[in-house]
Amino acid sequence: MIIITVKTHEYMLSSLRRHGYEVFYDPKITYEELASMISEAEGIVVSTRINIDQSILEKADKLKWIGRLGSGMELIDVKYAESRGIRCLNSPEGNRIAVAEHTLGMLLNLMNKISYSHNQIKQRIWQREENRGLELTGKTVGIIGYGNSGSALGALLKSFDTTVLAYDKYKFDFGKDYIKEANLEQVTRYSDVISFSVPLTEETFHMANDVFFNSLQRRPYFLNASRGKVVNLDHLVKALKENKIAGAGLDVLENEKLETYKKQDTDRLNWLLEQPNVIITPHIAGYSQEAFYKMGKVLLEKLGLE
């Protein structure tokens, strides 16, 4: 049996059934419900909703693989799973273009004040001079993390005649033409735009903090479509108030369960939403119609079930 705990394209369901698997499909399954039936599962497909920890894996006697639709593996105890011979796979190749295009869209929106001026017109306010935009062409863009999404964003920037300063602690010798390998200090010193494209790890947790924002030299636009906890949101607010950054485009937040917010969280979010130079979207960067299909297809290919 294969348990699928996340919304997925019909292509994945039909492919698994075509290979003779019984598929239990419940995108709303709870941790407790999964724990009660995982002993029968040969494979499970997950996303960012359920924590696949050691406790639940200890019950998974027949489990051969865990498939993550998308990229981040932080909710899976990969080390323990692999110690039990369970393969852990993800499919960042499936949604990297969607993430890159969404990130670029947020940036162009911010630089040209599109959403802000649109909302003004709803109020019958017509201001041209105040909404004069900036061109991306010729700017320097820093990309922190040059894996699937980071490199896809770098590729999109070619037509804008930008210089891309790419920093990746674990990747080297990828620079070519307008893509320049850089260290973090160079990214923070020379970039007009900085985009985070890193996984959430102990190293990247709150990587964008006071120290980071205080190191910025050119008041760049700040973008994050990777993981919410990469950014200390209080420090981001401080950076906006102190004019350290020109604006912020966020597709992810530290806590995306808005119904659990305390007053302090609500006040902070409301303040951000009121700013003319802030755009927040509901974790949809990697969730395009095409990515919805491709993430499943890539995962099936890696499992040899395509």
Active-site residue numbers? 227, 256, 283
Q: Which residue has the tokens 């696949």?
A: 52
- In degrees and rounded to multiples of 5, residue 183 shows phi and psi of -95, 175
Alpha-helical (H) ranges within 215-262 are 233-241
Alpha-helical (H) ranges within 46-165 are 54-57, 78-83, 92-111, 114-122, 148-156
Question: Residue 290: which residues within 8 A CB-CB, separation 6 or more?
Answer: 97, 98
With vertex at residue 286, the alpha carbon angle to CA 109 and CA 232, rounded to the nearest 5 degrees, is 70
Question: Helix/strand/coil (H, E, C) string of 154-191?
Answer: HHHHHHHCCEEEEECCCCCCCCECCEEECCHHHHHHHC
Task: Name the token pair of 299.
Answer: 């995962």
Cα 195 to chain centroid distance, Å, stands at 11
First and final C-alpha spacing in the chain:
17
Helix axes 92-111, 148-156, angle to 10 degrees: 50
With vertex at residue 175, the alpha carbon angle to CA 169 and CA 180, rounded to the nearest 5 degrees, is 85
Question: Residue 32: which residues within 8 A CB-CB, separation 6 or more?
Answer: none
Task: Name the token pair of 65.
Answer: 């693989």
